[in-house]
Amino acid sequence: MTQEIIICHNLEADLTQAIAQCPHDRLFVLADTTTAQLCWPLLSAYPCMRQATLITIGATDEHKTLETLSQVWTALQQGGASRHSLLVNLGGGMVTDLGGFAASTFKRGIAFINIPTTLLSMVDAAVGGKTGINFGGLKNEIGVFNCAHTVLLDSVFLRTLNDQNMLSGYAEMLKHGLISDKAHWAELLRFDLEDIDYATLGGMVAHSVAIKERIVTQDPTEQGIRKALNLGHTVGHAFESMALERSKPVLHGYAVAWGLVCELYLSAKLAGFPKQQLTQTIQFVRSHYGTFPFDCRHYDRLYDLMTHDKKNEGGIINFTLLADIGDIRINQHATKEDIMDMLDFYRECM
């Protein structure tokens, strides 16, 4: 389960080579309404894409559904796709997750290439082989592990992002800093997100991807250390699911940032994570991401949503915690009382 990750300096040349490495009878491109408008015109001019059929789906996570998946399968079928066809996923995490799942299941699996166009998908969703859709009100409930043949990372797309989508991806980079080393974590806290130096950001993205790639290589199907990548996600997915229930969806990275605050509090309480680094991270999250609004009436529902997390075993909520930056403790359990304390702490400090 390996994939080639290319930091692009010439997207056309790199894409041409990636497509040539996947012999195919028909070529399809999956984009959402946003990337079809902003990004597809750039690629459609390349000779290697001349025969491509564009499939367009709705943008944002609310379209990451079985219905949209069915639309993609139908478009592939009606477009004459065979087991030897190739799908290029052009978009953010929703597109690469859903497109990867569609490719992995159509005719028992066709090859696919990911071209992530958001910071979130570059450092997280498009790399590592997780594919899937939301189902039954729960995030990424249905899916498979299956790597793209190639992932092409080109920082040119980052210039198309608004502030919110930039921050959404940056939260996953902050998580990678927390699970790796203090120098990278400190660099992330120092970086000026108000006046972005894209050359510096490109280097940080490459570093962030390398952290994830190293962990995924050790544990492709999340039996052990890959669970480190779930820091902030047990609570973050609960926030995300609650936001969807309210019909007020939030960006994934914002939910992860808020989840980091909660899970670093648990890390301090249960694993001795240093208070100073907890405070510094909370200040960064509070000043850049605002807060997720809830009160004590929502505690039981948030707890219930956490019990549905895929990492759980036997109904026990399973957290990834830190004893220090880079000192990862997987498969940690917290009592319901600990979780209620955590939610109290979040409301007090945010």
Confirm if 306 and 339 have CB atoms less than 8 A apart: yes
Q: What is the spatial distance between Cα 9 and Cα 336, in angstroms, rounded to a whole number? A: 50
pLDDT band at 210 (very low <50, low <70, confident <90, very high): very high
| Pair 80, 228 in one domain | no
CATH number reported for the structural domain that contains residue 267 in this entry: 1.20.1090.10
Structure confidence at residue 1 (pLDDT): 56
| Number of structural domains found in the chain | 2
Mean pLDDT of 51-64: 95
Strand pairing report for 27-32 and 53-57: parallel
**Residues spanned by the domain of 151:** 4-160
**Judgement on whether residues 236 and 202 belong to the same structural domain of the protein:** yes
Q: For the chain, what is the mean pLDDT?
A: 95
Q: Over 172-205, what HEC string results? A: HHHHHHHHHCHHHHHHHHHCCCCCCCHHHHHHHH
140, 160, 180: which is the final residue of a domain? 160
Which residues pair with residue 112 across a beta bridge? Answer: 87
Q: How confident is the model at residue 138 (pLDDT cuts 50, 70, 90)?
A: confident
Let me know whether 240 and 294 are in one domain.
Answer: yes
Q: With 60 as the cut, is the pLDDT of residue 112 above it? A: yes
Same-domain check for residues 318 and 207: yes
Q: Quick one: the chain helix, strand, coil %, rounded to 5?
A: 55, 15, 25
Q: What is the pTM of this model?
A: 0.91
**Residues 281, 208: one domain?**
yes
- 180 with 128, same domain? no
> What pLDDT score does 343 carry?
98
